[in-house]
Amino acid sequence: MSVINYNYAANAAANVINRNEKLMDRTMAKLSSGLNIGVGHNQPGALGTYTTVKAEGTTARTGLASINSALARMKMVESVAMSMQGMLTRLQELAVAASDASINTADRYALDAEFGGIITEWMRLAADTKYNNVPVMFGTDQTIFTGGTAITIAMDDFRIDAGAANGIGIATGQISVGAANSAGADADSSAMSDTVVGAAIIVPATLQETLITAATAALSVAKLARIIPTFSGAVGRVGGLISRLEYASEAQAGKAVAVEAAASVIGDTDYAVQTAQLASAQVISQAATAILAQANARSSTVLTLLK
């Protein structure tokens, strides 16, 4: 039917062009941003899910960083504790040698000097071993953020002069602080003392924990016999904690990858699909434009009837 007041074909073609323009706008926005959900109207039903899952992925990555940081701290503790284990062996060797009453005074002073030097170095290592400027050998428990249930690690105090009721939380297992000249009500359960005794009292200057006589050396031997296996157990616990954190790190990394992959499926642009849609929309738009031109030409046909 030839009419002049309304051109159905032209309006239908114009509607197709408008729809394709909107489709191409959304498709090009997705292609340029790499995001399938750039704004709410692109995928209104998936926006909330994508936002939540993406946040979970970020949290998982943050938790993984916390676990790996704690793992680095624990490996530092293990390394220094192993050095301290070697020091204990040498302390025991010196104490056993000094407990021989036949040793002359000069040799005993030499043994005591090394003995005291090792204890002093032990305490320096304990104080100077820090992670992020925080001492890690003082027995401060750690709470590790994972994004879910926190991991709590009970740390032992690795200072040689540490003491606590029942030896709980003390790497040396001691239940009381060191006493002067290795003495005490229960010398073998007292920690090593690093308190300096002045030269006016004992020549040369020494520590309270001293090998200056065969008797005090024998008390140190008794202490060390108790400390060494307990300390080895503390080092073993550190190794167990490291193993736990390694498993936690592996699991957390897998969780982070899985959640990030889920967020990608929901929110990232599938370039194969979107480029195909863009190409299709462009072809349809070009065809609709051609049809619109032909539909608009119909009016000239009507005018020929009036001639």
pLDDT at 40: 45
Question: What is the torsion angle, in degrees rounded to the nearest 10, for the CA atoms of residue 301, residue 302, residue 305 and residue 307?
Answer: -90
Q: What percent of the chain has pLDDT over 70?
A: 82
Same-domain check for residues 130 and 222: yes
Residue 297, domain extent: 8-34+269-306
Overall average pLDDT of the 239-252 stretch: 94
Whether 44 is in a domain gets the answer no
Q: Which of 51-55, 129-133, 153-157, 266-270 has the lowest mean pLDDT?
A: 266-270
Is the pLDDT confidence value at 6 over 70? Answer: no
Q: Which of 116-125, 217-226, 266-275 has the lowest mean pLDDT?
A: 266-275
Between CA 8 and CA 11 the distance in angstroms is 5
Same-domain check for residues 275 and 261: no
Overall average pLDDT of the 120-141 stretch: 93
Same-domain check for residues 215 and 124: yes
Same-domain check for residues 103 and 228: yes
SS3 letters across the chain: CCCCCCCHHHHHHHHHHHHHHHHHHHHHHHHHHCECCCCCCCCCCCHHHHHHHHHHHHHHHHHHHHHHHHHHHHHHHHHHHHHHHHHHHHHHHHHHHHCCCCCCHHHHHHHHHHHHHHHHHHHHHHHHCEECCEECCECCCEEECCCCCCEEECCCECCCCCCCHHHCCECCCCCECCCHHHCCCCHHHECCCCCEECCCCCCCCEECCCCCCHHHHHHHHHHHHHHHHHHHHHHHHHHHHHHHHHHHHHHHHHHHHHHHHHHHHHHECCHHHHHHHHHHHHHHHHHHHHHHHHHHCHHHHHHHHHC
pLDDT at 18: 79
Overall average pLDDT of the 256-271 stretch: 81
Same-domain check for residues 29 and 97: no
Q: Which of 9-23, 81-95, 114-128, 239-253 has the lowest mean pLDDT?
A: 9-23
Q: Which of 197-201, 206-210, 234-238, 280-284 has the lowest mean pLDDT?
A: 197-201
Q: Supply 60's token pair.
A: 């998982």
Is the pLDDT confidence value at 85 over 70? Answer: yes
Same-domain check for residues 224 and 92: yes
Is the pLDDT confidence value at 184 over 60? Answer: no
Between CA 31 and CA 131 the distance in angstroms is 45
Is the pLDDT confidence value at 161 over 60? Answer: yes
Q: How many domains does the chain have?
A: 2
Q: What percent of the chain has pLDDT over 90?
A: 42
In terms of pLDDT, which residue wins out, 76 or 296? 76
In terms of pLDDT, which residue wins out, 244 or 38? 244
pLDDT at 206: 85
Overall average pLDDT of the 143-149 stretch: 88
* Tens-place pLDDT, residues 13-44: 777 777 777 777 777 777 766 677 765 455 66
In terms of pLDDT, which residue wins out, 191 or 125? 125
Same-domain check for residues 299 and 211: no
Same-domain check for residues 179 and 283: no
pLDDT at 176: 84
pTM of this prediction? 0.76
Which whole-number Å values give the CA distances from 282 to 14, 15, 26, 176, 273, in the listed order?
14, 15, 13, 84, 14
Q: Supply 13's token pair.
A: 């073609």
